[in-house]
Amino acid sequence: MQNGYHEHSGPASPRRSGLPLAALLVLSAVLGGLVAVGIYTAFRAEPARAASPASSTALAKLADLQEGFTAVADAVRPAVVNINTEQEVEAPWTEFRFDPRSGNWRFYTPTQKRTSLGSGVITSSDGFIVTNAHVISGATTIKVTLSGGKSYPAHVVSVPQSLLNRDLAMIKIDGDKDLPAARFGNADKVKVGAWAIAIGSPFGFNETVTVGVISAIGRVLRGEEGREEYRDLIQTDASINPGNSGGPLVNLAGEVIGINQAIYSPSGGNVGIGFAIPINTATRDAVSSAMEKARGRRV
């Protein structure tokens, strides 16, 4: 060594490492390959975990639930009808007219036609339909449009006062003798949190299906001055809007457990608080009795 400099002998000294350079290069390549394989395996394992047996079971349950909803819709929608009514009401103004019968001029209140829209559910193959009493109240003409698009005139069927007090009414169409009819269930067995499916014609959109749950039971609707109007109602968050009145609220078995009646809404549209009249054993018996009496009178 001279002038403080060391003699340079190359990149590595065989004496210090104890391994030849070629062996070091091979070992580095092997270690690098193992690391790469480990990283690839770790990332590739993610899809396998996503398709684990537990996830497959959950997806299968969701598929079964979806199939249940579609099966109910397919079964019940053909039995749900659109109801259009017309009635003559007095106009909110008066006119001064000459009366040719009396030969005098007098004030006259003209009449005008008012139309309304609602829903109903077929309860027998020969054309009996349950709806809300307020849907057909005061109507001079009633037109029913079926799921397939056919329209028929309808007439009002006499029902017990107990049904009218519950805002339930019945109408009848004549013509087809093999109509699809919905099955009535028992609302007394309904539990809060159970699935609920509403079907009807909100804003005239026929056969609209909405899904929610039973939010509460035994609700009371109050009218002016806090007076009780209707008791023991089913509350649901299934979307109900104007035009849904008279349509069915059904369970996952496809049974009618209620007739949609009203909504609570500051805006006039759905806010997730709707009410249906429960269909229980007493109501079902009253409906059956009214149909039998109507059939007997027409014989």
- From residue 42, alpha-carbon distances to 54, 262, 267 in Å are 20, 57, 54
Model pLDDT for residues 121-175, shown as the tens digit of each residue: 999 999 999 999 999 999 999 999 999 899 999 999 999 999 999 999 999 999 7
Report how far residue 203's alpha carbon sits from residue 120's, in angstroms, rounded to the nearest whole number. Answer: 14
Instruction: Give the per-residue pLDDT at 32.
Output: 56
Instruction: Give the per-residue pLDDT at 225.
Output: 62
Model pLDDT for residues 48-63, shown as the tens digit of each residue: 455 556 688 889 989 9
Average pLDDT, whole number, for the chain? Answer: 83
Q: Which residue in the list 119, 201, 239, 245 is annotated as catalytic?
A: 245
Q: Which residue in the list 134, 147, 265, 288 is annotated as catalytic?
A: 134
Instruction: Give the per-residue pLDDT at 224.
Output: 64
| Host H or E run for residue 199 | strand 195-200
Q: Which residue in the list 119, 126, 167, 237 is annotated as catalytic?
A: 167
In terms of pLDDT, which residue wins out, 291 or 229?
291
55 CA to centre of own chain: 28
Instruction: Give the per-residue pLDDT at 41.
Output: 53
Instruction: Give the per-residue pLDDT at 280.
Output: 95
The structure's pTM equals 0.75
- Quickly state the pLDDT bin for 25 (edges 50, 70, 90): very low
Instruction: Give the per-residue pLDDT at 227.
Output: 66
- Which of 189, 149, 215, 211 has its CA nearest to residue 278? 189
Percent of the chain topping pLDDT 70: 78
Instruction: Give the per-residue pLDDT at 20.
Output: 54
What domains can you pick out in the chain, each with its CATH number? 77-97+107-181 (2.40.10.10), 183-283 (2.40.10.10)
Instruction: Give the per-residue pLDDT at 95.
Output: 81
Quick check: is 167 catalytic?
A: yes
Quick check: is 232 catalytic?
A: no
Q: What contacts 242, CB < 8 A, 6 or more positions away?
A: 117, 202, 203, 268
Tokens of 20: 């030849």
